[in-house]
Amino acid sequence: MKYYIIAGEASGDLHGSNLASEIFSNDTEAQIQGWGGYRMANNGVEIKKHIKDLAFMGFIEVVMNLKTIMRNIKQCKSEIESFQPDALILIDYPGFNMRIAAWAREKGLRVYYYISPQIWAWKRNRVKKIRRDVRKIFVILPFEKDFYKKYGVEAEFVGHPLLDAIENFKSDTDTEDFGNGKPILALLPGSRKQELKKMLPLMVEASKKYAEEFTIVIGGLSNVKELYTDYLNDHISIVYDKSYRLLNQAKAAFVTSGTATLETALFSVPEVVCYKASPISYHIAKRLIKVKYISLVNLIADAPVVKELIQHELNIKNMHKEMDLLLNDSPELKKMKDNYGMIHEKLGGIGASKRVATKIIEDLTN
């Protein structure tokens, strides 16, 4: 059978790659095309458009790139129509994917959504479109199933695919050491260009305080190498496309809000969550978003497990204050690590990608 997967960001590329691997394992004649990154490509997906050209962050940034986004949607529709997949699988990336879903339903394609858009945070009216356009939705956060049920949508909780990704990583025997004999302070500035430009300078400046005692290492992405060049020196190094290896060795981390906050928690690394958008985007979001927290860690726990430094609170003084607590044997550190264990349990066991692949293939063959 033929499958078309659309992932628009680095996290979606990771989950899409694991899903593709499971599809190939269960369907030996599978053909998979899609939009994604190097991980999906490495797992056998024919990539039609790379994620480096897709990730636009914030309201103003989206408006500024609207022509490009509309051109991408047109291109994607044309490719899907040419390929005629048995299954169209959408991974998060809602602004783009929900437009594709509405069009695909009209074309009679079977649409599956893996990893729900965060409509529980904002734009809750999108649930009506999901109910109309999507054949099955597979959710990865425990509270999402109940959210959808309130709106008459039978969502299936399949567990979180990060558990699979981390389990796969831990079976790797590579023991490359990034610390040079010292503990590591990791900087994870995000995967979007707009994030990197805002977060990396602050993280680098804040990390200077710890350069004598720690090896400072940036977790970078090879497709935007040019954005890191100005920040590398004798005290700061970088590793590309090896965030799990970095987290496996890190003592603590500054992390941009996003999937990386949960990955950091699952590696039991103490973290300070950082986020800053353009002023206009931030004020618009503040009026629209309906959740108490921005990090996945706190959302899953429904409690302030990790400190979130957002917008005006994200400054060097506060970054030092919060990191100092995590680098010492403080009550805050102990409480954070205890809560990490609780979050791990809430996410269910490993096997999310396999469960989704099996359910899609069963649905296609019934």
Residue 125 shares a structural domain with residue 108 = yes
177: in domain = no
Rounded Cα–Cα distance for residues 218 and 242 (Å): 10
Per-residue confidence (pLDDT) for residue 8, from 0 to 100: 87
171: in domain = no
Domain count, the chain: 2
321: in domain = yes
175: in domain = no
Per-residue confidence (pLDDT) for residue 60, from 0 to 100: 47
If 0-12 CB within 10 Å is exposed, 13-18 middle and 19+ buried, where does residue 72 land?
Answer: middle
Residue 339 shares a structural domain with residue 357 = no
Residue 143 shares a structural domain with residue 188 = no
Residues of the domain holding 197: 184-346
Residue 300 shares a structural domain with residue 215 = yes
Provide CB contacts within 8 A for 228, sequence distance 6+: 196, 200, 218, 220, 238
Residue 9 shares a structural domain with residue 147 = yes
Per-residue confidence (pLDDT) for residue 281, from 0 to 100: 60
Rounded Cα–Cα distance for residues 138 and 50 (Å): 24
Count Cβ atoms below 10 Å from residue 18 Cβ, excluding itself. Answer: 22
Residue 94 shares a structural domain with residue 151 = yes
CATH number for position 333: 3.40.50.2000
User: Model-level pTM?
Assistant: 0.78
Give every residue of the chain whose pLDDT is below 50, as ranges: 57-60
By three-state DSSP, how is residue 65 classified?
Answer: coil
Per-residue confidence (pLDDT) for residue 189, from 0 to 100: 95
Per-residue confidence (pLDDT) for residue 145, from 0 to 100: 92
Residue 327 shares a structural domain with residue 273 = yes
Per-residue confidence (pLDDT) for residue 86, from 0 to 100: 98
176: in domain = no
- The amino acid at 346: K
Per-residue confidence (pLDDT) for residue 285, from 0 to 100: 55
164: in domain = no
Q: How, if at all, do strands 156-157 and 136-139 pair?
A: parallel
Per-residue confidence (pLDDT) for residue 59, from 0 to 100: 47
Residue 272 shares a structural domain with residue 231 = yes
H/E element, 268 = none
Residue 217 shares a structural domain with residue 285 = yes
Residue 295 shares a structural domain with residue 272 = yes
Q: Are 194 and 57 in contact (CB under 8 A)?
A: yes
Residue 282 shares a structural domain with residue 135 = no
Residue 80 shares a structural domain with residue 208 = no
82: in domain = yes
21: in domain = yes
Per-residue confidence (pLDDT) for residue 325, from 0 to 100: 95
